[in-house]
């Protein structure tokens, strides 16, 4: 007969861990938690593979998706003119570019664009004296005519997208 060795604490810890993982896996795959097959709605079949996919036209799910949308769209404001001043706020760091746009009628608009590396990546070469136009957001509801955060900018016929419709910067991972 074979002799059983006495199990040490490491073996017990490993067995308890494996048992815990096994219990978690069983709970994760329990029948009441599995998605049910969709019987009503649109069913799409791929004859090449024989696989089907169904979409449940449940209005409650549609309402939830609509609830994730912003209640009010963010208002955009146009800007148009010649760049009077080009400022890279932190050339050795993030490098956020701000420009002062003169519309020719005496209105100077402070516009925050994007980091210089992102503008270069988009093909937007912006410097003093060039004509720029676009739309942007006012996030500061207190200061009248405050800084505008550009949604896009058009310079030399090149349109650069800088922010989403909700104002999120496209050069960051905020939109993932």
pTM for the complete prediction? 0.56
List the domains of the chain with CATH numbers: 1-69 (no CATH), 77-161 (2.40.50.140)
Dist CA 116 CA 87 (whole Å): 10
- For residue range 111-163, list pLDDT tens digits in order: 999 998 899 888 889 999 999 999 999 887 666 668 899 999 999 889 999 99
CB-CB contact of 98 with 112 (8 Å): yes
**Structure tokens belonging to residue 43:** 């069913």
Provide the b/e sequence for 94-111 (b: ≥16 CB within 10 Å): ebbbbbbbeeeeeeebeb
Structure tokens at 170: 């496209």
Determine contact, residues 174/136, Cβ cutoff 8 Å: no
The answer to whether the CB of 151 falls within 8 A of the CB of 163 is yes
Whose CA is closest to 59, among 74, 76, 40? Answer: 40
Residue 49 has pLDDT above 50, yes or no: no
Q: What contacts 104, CB < 8 A, 6 or more positions away?
A: 81, 82
Tens digit of each residue's pLDDT (9 = 90 or more) over 78-111: 999 999 998 877 666 677 899 999 998 988 999 9
Tokens in use for 149?
A: 């955060």
| Rounded Cα–Cα distance for residues 66 and 105 (Å) | 43
Whole-number pLDDT of residue 176: 53
């Amino acid at each position: 007969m074979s002799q059983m060795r006495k199990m040490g604490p490491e073996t017990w810890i490993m067995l308890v861990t494996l048992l815990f993982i096994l219990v978690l896996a069983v709970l994760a795959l329990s029948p009441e938690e599995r998605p049910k097959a969709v019987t009503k709605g649109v069913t799409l079949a791929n004859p090449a593979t024989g696989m089907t996919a169904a979409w449940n036209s449940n209005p409650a799910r549609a309402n939830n998706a609509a609830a994730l949308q912003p209640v009010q769209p963010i208002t955009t404001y146009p800007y148009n003119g010649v760049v009077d001043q080009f400022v890279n706020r932190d050339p050795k760091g993030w490098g956020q570019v701000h420009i002062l746009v003169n519309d020719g009628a005496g209105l100077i608009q402070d516009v925050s664009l994007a980091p210089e590396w992102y503008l270069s990546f988009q093909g937007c070469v912006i410097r003093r004296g060039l004509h720029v136009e676009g739309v942007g957001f006012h996030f500061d509801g207190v200061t009248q005519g405050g800084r505008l955060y550009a949604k896009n900018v058009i310079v030399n016929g090149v349109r650069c997208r800088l922010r989403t419709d909700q104002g999120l910067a496209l050069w960051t991972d905020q939109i993932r």
